[in-house]
Amino acid sequence: MRKDVRILLVGEPKVGKTSLIMSLVGEEFPEEVPLRAEEITIPADVTPERVPTHIVDYSGTQANVICIVYAVNNKKSIEKVTGDVHIGFLCVYVGMHRVPLILVGNKSDLVEHSSMETILPIMNQYSEIETCVECSAKNLKNISELFYYAQKAVLHPTGPLYCPEEKE
């Protein structure tokens, strides 16, 4: 049994990484956000899987699961997700370990229709991607689900995870 889970959030500038963390912890949308949230630890007894969970804003710390955040209203941030380069970089970045990835479409409050159409082909292409979720730090939609999926990806991975070495 794993003793803890480390969740790392990465993504283009201003997609809302820090806001997602602060919305989860504070249960409300922060009007003012620092550049980076302090590392936070959620005690075991308040997580669904009863495992202490650390959430890390963008940093080089070794993680067990990586949330790639994009903003659903920002095409550039979605295109960055699709790039081999980005995902390949992440695999190298975590030292070729088996690290599940979760795609997180933030700012769902700003658009009418979902980004799933664009995201699903990417999901199907990379077995490292465990799941995807659309959410909003602003209206707190799917925030606790996001961090639950991240925990679950570490504790109960569904598929074989690997980083093919040819992906630089």
Contacting positions for Mg ion (CB under 5 A): 17-18
**130 in Cβ contact with 99 (< 8 Å):** no
Q: Looking at 17-25, 44-52, 85-93, 117-125, which segment touches ligand GTP (CB under 6 A)?
A: 17-25
Q: How far apart are CB 72 and Mg ion at their closest, in Å?
A: 18
Task: Indicate whether 138 belongs to the interface with ligand GTP (CB under 6 A).
Answer: yes
Classify 119 in phi/psi space as left (phi over 0), alpha (psi -120 to 50) or beta. alpha
Given 2, 4, 14, 98, the residue binding ligand GTP (CB under 6 A): 14
Residue nearest ligand GTP (C-beta atom) = 16
Whole-number Å distance between alpha carbons of 107 and 102: 16
Whole-number Å distance between alpha carbons of 52 and 94: 21
Given 133, 137, 150, 154, the residue binding ligand GTP (CB under 6 A): 137
Task: Indicate whether 77 belongs to the interface with ligand GTP (CB under 6 A).
Answer: no
Choose from ligand GTP, Mg ion, none: what does 77 bind? Cβ within 5-8 Å by kind. none
Which tokens in the block code for residue 54? 């650390």
**75-82 vs 116-125: helix crossing angle, rounded to 10:** 10
Give the interface with ligand GTP as residue ranges (CB under 6 A): 11, 13-19, 33, 35, 106-107, 109-110, 136-138
